[in-house]
Amino acid sequence: MLTAVAAALCATVLAGGAVSAAPPASGPDGTLVTTTLTNAAGTRAYQVYTPRGLAPGRPLIAWVHGTSKVRNGDPMGLRRSNTLLAEADRLGFSVVAPLQSLRANGSGMWQFFEPAGLTRGHGEVSILADILRIAARDQRADPRRIYAIGHSAGGGAVQVLGALYPDIVSAIAVSAGFPFLGDPTGTAARRARAGRPVPTFLIHGDRDDVAPPIIGAAELSAALSANGIGGARPSGSRYLPAVGADRYPTRITTFGAGRTEVVVAEVIGAGHQTGPGGVTLNGPRLDRWVVGFLLAH
Report, as an integer, the average pLDDT of 100-127: 93
- Angle value at C-alpha 194, between 136 and 222, nearest 5 degrees: 90
Residue 39's domain comprises 4-295
User: How many residues in total does the chain contain?
Assistant: 297
Residue 28 has a pLDDT of: 62
Q: What is the number of structural domains in the chain?
A: 1
**pTM above the 0.95 mark?**
no
- Among 185, 172, 229, CA closest to 1: 185
Please report the pLDDT score of residue 9 as a whole number: 46
27 DSSP assignment: -
Q: Is the pLDDT of residue 294 over 70?
A: yes
Residue 70: pLDDT above 80? Answer: no
Could you tell me what percent of the chain has a pLDDT over 90? 82
Q: Which CATH number is 63's domain given?
A: 3.40.50.1820
Q: How many beta carbons lie within 10 A of that of residue 106, not counting itself?
A: 9
State the chain's mean pLDDT as an integer: 90
- Residue 226 to residues 153, 163, 197, 202, 292: CA-CA distances in angstroms? 20, 9, 7, 14, 22
Least confident of 5-19, 23-37, 264-278: 5-19
pLDDT at 8 over 50: no
Whether residue 210 is predicted with pLDDT greater than 60 in this model: the reply is yes
pLDDT at position 3: 45
When computed from its CA atoms, the radius of gyration of the chain, rounded to whole angstroms, is 17
How far is CA 24 from each of CA 36, 47, 90, rounded to the nearest angstrom?
13, 10, 21
φ, ψ of residue 291 to 5 degrees: the values are -60, -45
Q: Which amino acid is at 157?
A: A
Helix, coil or strand: residue 193: coil
- pLDDT tens digits along 257-278: 999 999 999 999 999 999 989 9
pLDDT tens, residue by residue, 216-239: 999 999 999 999 999 999 999 999
